[in-house]
């Protein structure tokens, strides 16, 4: 692979820093951080604008209707029109609301989402902020989301907002446990909390063709599914968009928001979706590594964003396909199924490791997961609880 093409953005940053050669080290570090921040915002705000119109077009195609097609060629300027509309809309704050907290809630939510994007490796030598405990930092900062949602619901001084915030916090706390526990098998197997080392551990190929990504192991596949579903809930995406149930509680914790504050909530949701999907790519799908050794001629950052785009497409696909779940069903799945399965994946990963990481370990790991899955299915009696409902009307 051409090193110049793969490292073009790294060389560009080095060229920009060459203008401040001779300055104190702290000045260089500040300028380097600012370059990383500007690049991160430019990439993901552009991706946010693009995905906002692509999602509507993909949903329209799946549901056999028209999507945005009026503003610009093929409706591609629709995000610009939406942004202008949100900017010029009146910002209404309830008279009895806590105005300071009401203002800070969407700002904190967006800031948290942007911070989590900073520790993900987007390509070879392309981690914006390389931290030894990068995975720990991701979840430590991401947990602030619950505080921002509660701030929005409480500061609005509205029963619907407060109810929506409580529902959001309940589901976020419930699904953060399997989300974090699903990361532990990868951290245990690699022996590091650095995202770069986790990607490097998946950089080998069997016979130079088949990648050794963790998703191709039994424990990795099960953990990836648990992580992906938990990420759906954390991002408040369909079918788990219970806090924003329009038919039940207007718009949840965002009921009393309008104008650009509402747009900030909308943007934070998408940035959170990008960060969770990016972490899933890093942990289970090989990060920026190519799917085959012969394909390493393609730049590493291209592979990362192709994998990220595939996961984002699945998010949209699920939104077009599935109805919203009930709150009790969602909480039952979290505590009674996903949490035990997450702990099972830790045991399965340990079995895979100590059995030699070969075929024998693969089979024993699969055996552990299948046994626990079958036992949970019997104990929870899923056929009865999720059977088709028969409605009877009074004569």
Q: For 201-251, how does the pLDDT look when each residue is reduced to its tens digit (9 = 90+)? A: 998 888 778 888 999 999 999 999 999 999 888 888 878 877 666 666 667
- 332-341: b (≥16 Cβ within 10 Å) or e: bbbeebbbbb
Residue 103, φ and ψ in degrees, nearest 5 = -75, -40
Q: Is 341:372 a contact under the CB 8 Å cutoff?
A: yes
Residues 44-68, mean pLDDT to the nearest whole number = 90
- How does pLDDT run across 367-380, given as a tens digit for each residue? 999 999 999 888 88
Q: Is 139:300 a contact under the CB 8 Å cutoff?
A: no
Is residue 31 situated within a structural domain? Answer: no
The pLDDT confidence band at residue 20, using thresholds 50, 70 and 90, is confident
pLDDT of residue 27: 86
| Residue that wins the pLDDT comparison between 383 and 237 | 237
Is residue 261 situated within a structural domain? Answer: yes
Q: Is 227:183 a contact under the CB 8 Å cutoff?
A: yes
pLDDT of residue 394 exceeding 60, the answer is: no
Is residue 29 situated within a structural domain? Answer: no
- Distance in angstroms between the alpha carbons of the first and the last residue of the chain: 74
Is residue 124 situated within a structural domain? Answer: yes
Is residue 44 situated within a structural domain? Answer: no
pLDDT of residue 165 exceeding 90, the answer is: no
The pLDDT confidence band at residue 310, using thresholds 50, 70 and 90, is very high
pLDDT of residue 102 exceeding 70, the answer is: yes
8-12: long-range contacts, CB 8 A cutoff, minimum separation 24: 8/299, 9/39, 9/123, 9/126, 9/301, 10/125, 10/126
Domain that holds residue 108: 53-386
Is residue 47 situated within a structural domain? Answer: no
- How does pLDDT run across 27-37, given as a tens digit for each residue? 888 888 899 99
pLDDT of residue 386: 58
Is residue 38 situated within a structural domain? Answer: no
- How does pLDDT run across 336-375, given as a tens digit for each residue? 899 999 999 999 999 999 988 888 999 999 999 999 999 9
Is residue 276 situated within a structural domain? Answer: yes
Considering its fold, how many domains does the chain have in total?
Answer: 1
Classify the C-alpha dihedral 170-252-269-142 as positive or negative. Answer: negative
Residues 56-64, mean pLDDT to the nearest whole number = 90
């Amino acid at each position: 692979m051409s090193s110049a093409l793969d490292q073009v953005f790294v060389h560009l940053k080095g060229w920009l820093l060459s203008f401040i050669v001779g300055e104190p080290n702290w000045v260089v570090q500040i300028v380097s951080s600012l370059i990383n921040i500007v690049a991160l915002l430019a990439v993901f705000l552009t991706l946010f604008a693009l995905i906002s119109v692509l999602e509507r077009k993909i949903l329209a195609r799946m549901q056999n209707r028209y999507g945005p097609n009026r503003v610009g060629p093929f409706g591609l300027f629709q995000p610009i029109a939406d942004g202008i509309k949100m900017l010029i809309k009146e910002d209404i704050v309830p008279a009895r609301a806590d105005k300071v907290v009401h203002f800070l809630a969407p700002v904190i939510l967006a800031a948290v989402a942007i911070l989590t994007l900073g520790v993900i490796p987007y390509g070879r030598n392309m981690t914006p902020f390389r931290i030894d405990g990068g995975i720990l930092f991701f979840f430590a900062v991401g947990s602030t989301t619950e505080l921002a949602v509660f701030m929005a619901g409480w500061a609005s001084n509205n029963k619907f907002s407060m109810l929506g915030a409580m529902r959001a916090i309940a589901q976020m706390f419930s699904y953060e446990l399997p989300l974090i526990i699903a990361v532990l098998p990868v951290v245990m197997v690699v022996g590091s909390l650095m995202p770069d080392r986790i990607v490097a551990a998946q950089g080998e190929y069997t016979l130079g063709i088949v990648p050794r990504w963790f998703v191709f192991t039994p424990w990795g596949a099960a953990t990836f599914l648990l992580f992906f579903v938990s990420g759906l809930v954390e991002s408040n995406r369909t079918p788990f968009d219970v806090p924003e149930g329009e038919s039940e509680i207007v718009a949840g914790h965002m009921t009393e928001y309008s104008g650009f504050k509402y747009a900030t909530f909308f943007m934070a949701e998408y940035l959170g979706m990008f960060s969770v999907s990016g972490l899933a790519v890093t942990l289970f799908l090989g990060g920026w590594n190519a799917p085959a050794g012969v394909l390493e001629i393609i730049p590493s950052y291209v592979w990362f964003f192709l994998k990220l785009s595939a996961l984002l497409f699945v998010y949209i696909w699920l939104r077009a396909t599935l109805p919203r779940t009930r709150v009790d069903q969602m909480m039952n799945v979290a505590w009674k199924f996903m949490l035990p399965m997450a702990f099972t994946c830790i045991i399965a990963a340990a079995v895979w490791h100590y059995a030699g990481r070969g075929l024998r370990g693969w089979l024993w790991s699969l055996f552990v997961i299948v046994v626990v899955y079958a036992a949970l299915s019997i104990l929870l009696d899923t056929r009865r609880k999720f059977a088709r409902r028969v409605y009877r009307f009074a004569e």
